[in-house]
Structure 1
């Protein structure tokens, strides 16, 4: 493989910078050969190699002659010497098989069908040029006036691409499982709590606070996809393909279906399993508040990804920001008890948990009557506002 000069080079870490791209590719092929596989797949093993290195790399095809080994390789534009090393040839065009058979018989096949290979031309170049249909359409994109796509087109394309790449649906089961578990905590409470304690304001408030804070915290799972999207965005923006506005619109609209699904399905499980206020209007309000909270967390993590491109530090930064917001959202400490500099002004008013808690509490408590465990005492109630 021509790697004698790199014999003492350590692979991995910073020291691997001493190897070129072609040498790294040859090393990866050697690692696979060491296991003596019966079947070996090589995806473009000659990319980044010159003609001489490509020939030596493809000499591993000779392994097929010993021990009954089979090697399948995909190669773009091989040299004539490399092409002669292969026994069988498969040519594809537009996803369809054009030729599959002995490599030596391909020349006759093309000649019989009216495409003979000129005597001084590389056979592989002739075959690929003949079957290639990518450039047959008239009027290429470069000839069209106004080749820059409109903002609407950019947004639609980015939305579709981001929608395909979104994987929030993969952690939908995790959110559902969590809802089942913490929902059962409140459902199983009657065995250890009195009716008055079960229906207390504290129990319901704790449950709703969990929804507004810790459940929406799971939306941080979208951060890895944001980091990868930001890398692609930086390159494509420099090339002038689209701007910041189209990127934000595309990522926002692609997230909406997933976040709605996560808000409605696990939200319904938690809402009705615990036994909150009946009525479709109460549940719709509950799901909408949960959806908006998750959208805010997604937006927050997108901002963090644009500032902190490192995966680990980004997760830590996003979690820290949300933790500060939870602490000052009005549940753990009353607003009047918070130190005014920074914690109350402005953090208490910046934290979205403040507004989520208010919405959840008003939706749940207004109109409810709670039993009084003190004999003769009137039951406390919260009348609906006019």
Structure 2
């Protein structure tokens, strides 16, 4: 059943067969209803170290939203709208202290509520190279349960597209900063559509009309109104709605610096403030008047001090409004909430209420780990299909390979200095090039990861492996092509075994380097900081790699054992040379000396290569495990 999407509750009645193509659109049939209540919600955050007092973001916010209603949170920037919305969605981080009571049909926030809640962030976090249909389809495949077939999920996607008016652009790419895609209003509808796929009972929207023109904003809110009228509970923040949008709200919460100054019917707000002496002399947008009051600007309100001087003090206006709220609204609101509690408990004792809801077994995940891995891998390949083998990177690698091959063209074995330099360049280039590409991976996907993980869409382990495996075709194909060109042009050992071993060593170095880059990116989650750390690391590894400095002071010699390029360099030398190899040390006297005694080679040695392999294997696993642990901190 479309309504029972890995949820902890299911309806007794009005079940719809998902295989029935003639059934009503599941968007119009929420499985059950939720009444959201929030009482005396207070949120405080630390105002810095050193015993500084806490900063209060929310001060005793109370309200209730019933099924079929839209509650709009109004207030100037910094008034706490988004913080309150995030608290209602159970998404506040542990950086602050939340108190008060938030209930959903009388129960606290839980995993079942989370999977029934659609949260639409202010910014549209979408993959730019996926089409509208692909974006919604991959979301459906991940968020809808395995009990539905792929055809059923595809049908649900088509329902969403039709309901939200996206049919004309279903095959268009989302678009991004570098190329044009669908419009801003269409992106917002796609973001809403992603949440509608799970048939949410509670829908939370953060600034859904931000950055849109008035006509597009009205279309978005009309869609939201339609969803609410189907029986959903809708809460939205909005900054400065037009009068047309304002009159589409059922209830309004008006915040001023984190404190409530109005809660009630949107249509009754003007009369309430007029009764307090705050009325406009001309016809104005109600939202404009409310925002002026929230900023402490009282239109046509005159206050006379002892000297009968006319003044308007924003602080005084706020104090008057907050005092009026406590006197006129707060007491009445608390009594209403207490009455609904008693009615709800009575209905429960008599078996009524709750919309015929019964509790059933809860599932933690809608899909299996392997299924999530496959879908995430396929989505990643689809998203990066235009940039994975882009011409610039291919040209960059091939041109360096050809240029290097020409500089070291058929280097004879007697030119041992040049051959050693070639091997060191080999290890350095493929030790650092993948590192700088990998540091961008997780910082660029941070917002997407937060959004999807907050929705409980997939396990972190399935995402991590799918993301890293999806990068392997590019990460391994380019060094393979580079090795084919550079190895044979450079005149290294011509036997196939030496070539294959050299290729494997290079590929292993690539994977280790990529793992370190992923770890830097995951730990810092900032591209500039990660790139800076990567540049410092590469410089240290380059100097301590065994080629430039051979007699490293003992107190800092341990640095070379941290450098994977050092191990790669040693392995490449070991493939090309043996202890019993000789080189012409004095050609005029026809003298030949052991390769193992040649100073640059003697400084690193040609023995214990299994230690080098083990060290690189440990780094290969360790760096990626470190990156995985770092991603757990992303909230």
- Length-normalised TM-score, structure 1: 0.58
**Superposition deviation, residue 146 in structure 1:** 6.9
DSSP 3-state at the match of 2:389: helix
Shift of the 215–264 alpha-carbon distance from structure 1 to 2, 3 Å rule, reads: same
Tell me which residue corresponds to 2:560: 348
Tell me which protein shows more strand as a share of its residues: 2
Which residue is 1:263 aligned to?
479
Per the TM alignment, residue 364 of structure 1 is displaced from its structure 2 partner at its CA by 1.1
- Could you tell me which of 389, 400, 413 is aligned with 1:169? 389
* Shift of residue 322, structure 1, vs aligned partner: 1.9
Q: Does structure 1 retain, via aligned residues, the 8 Å contact 2:492–2:576?
A: yes
Question: Is the contact between residue 263 and residue 288 of structure 1 (CA under 8 Å) also seen in structure 2?
Answer: no
Q: Which residue of 2 aligns with 1:359?
A: 571
Please say if residues 289 and 359 of structure 1, whose CA atoms lie closer than 8 Å, have aligned partners that are also in contact.
yes
Give the match for residue 213 of structure 1: 428
Unaligned runs of 5+ residues in structure 2 are 1-76, 79-181, 189-207, 224-359, 597-605, 608-635
The alpha-carbon distance between structure 1 residues 244 and 199, as it changes in their structure 2 partners (threshold 3 A), is: farther
Q: Is contact 2:443-2:527 (8 Å) kept?
A: yes
Residues 165 and 316 (structure 1 numbering): CA distance in 2 closer, same or farther, change over 3 Å?
Answer: farther
Q: C-alpha separation between the residues in 2 aligned to 1:261 and 1:271?
A: 15
Do residues 201 (structure 1) and 421 (structure 2) align? no
Does the alignment pair 1:380 with 2:593? yes
- 1:187 equivalent in alignment to 2:409: yes
Correspondence for 2:376? 158
Paired with 1:320 and 1:264, the residues of 2 have a C-alpha distance of 27
In the TM superposition, what is the alpha-carbon distance from 1:261 to its structure 2 partner? 0.7
| Shift of residue 276, structure 1, vs aligned partner | 0.5
Tell me how far apart the structure 1 counterparts of residues 457 and 220 of structure 2 sit (CA, whole Å): 28
Q: Displacement of 1:207 after TM fit?
A: 0.8
Q: Distance in 2 between matches of 1:159 and 1:216?
A: 25
Of the candidates 479, 497, 518, which is equivalent to residue 281 of structure 1?
A: 497
| 1:218-262 Cα shifts (integer Å, max 9, x gaps) | 211233333222332233223322333223211221122222211
| Equivalent position SS for 1:169 | coil
Preserved CA contact (<8 Å) 2:438 2:521: no
CA contact (8 A) 1:370 1:380 kept: yes
Alpha-carbon distance in 2 for matches of 1:148, 1:269: 48
**Contact 1:168–1:222, Cα closer than 8 Å, also in 2:** no
Answer yes or no: is the 8 Å Cα contact 2:410–2:490 preserved in 1.
Answer: no
* Structure 1 segment 309-324 matched on structure 2, within 5 A: 309-324=525-540
Task: Answer yes or no: is 1:178 the counterpart of 2:400.
Answer: yes
Unpaired runs of 5+ residues, structure 1, are 1-16, 19-40, 59-74, 80-141, 190-194
Helix, strand or coil for the counterpart of 1:319?
Answer: helix
Counterparts of 1:261 and 1:56 in 2: how far apart (Å)? 46
Distance of aligned partners of 1:218 and 1:288 in 2 relative to their CA distance in 1, 3 Å threshold: same
SS for the counterpart of 1:370 is: strand
Moved more, 179-188 or 164-173: 164-173
Provide Cα deviations, 1:61-95, integer angstroms capped at 9, x if missing partner: xxxxxxxxxxxxxx76869xxxxxxxxxxxxxxxx
Give the Cα separation in 1 of the matches to 2:443 and 2:187: 31
Write out aligned runs for 1:107-126 (5 A). none
Partners of 1:255 and 1:327 lie apart in 2 by 29
8 Å Cα contact 1:216/1:297 also seen in 2: yes
Conserved? CA contact 2:401–2:486, under 8 Å: yes
Q: 1:44 aligns with which of 185, 188, 200?
A: 185
User: Take 2:527 and 2:407, find their aligned partners in 1: how far apart are those partners?
Assistant: 34
Q: 2: distance between equivalents of 1:247 and 1:157?
A: 10
Distance 2:216 2:467 in 1: 46
In structure 2, do the counterparts of structure 1 residues 248 and 53 end up closer, same or farther at CA, with 3 Å as the change threshold? closer
Q: Paired residues, what number?
A: 259
Other-structure match for 1:127? none
Q: Assess if the C-alpha contact under 8 Å between 2:372 and 2:458 holds in 1.
A: yes
Q: Tell whether 2:458 aligns with 1:242.
A: yes
Distance 1:165 1:381, change over 3 A: farther
The CA deviation at 1:360 is 0.3
| Deviation of the 1:172 alpha carbon | 2.6
Distance 2:213 2:469 in 1: 48
Structure ranking higher in helix proportion = 1
Q: Distance in 2 between matches of 1:173 and 1:56?
A: 43
Q: Does 1:303 align with 2:494?
A: no
Are the equivalent residues in 2 in contact too, given 1:168–1:221 (CA < 8 A)?
Answer: no
SS in 1 for 2:592: coil
Q: Residues of 1 paired with 2:518 and 2:487: CA distance?
A: 29
1:370 aligns to what? 583
Query: SS of the residue aligned with 1:187?
Result: coil
Structure number with higher relative contact order (C-alpha < 8 Å, ≥ 6 residues apart): 2
Shift of 1:289: 1.1
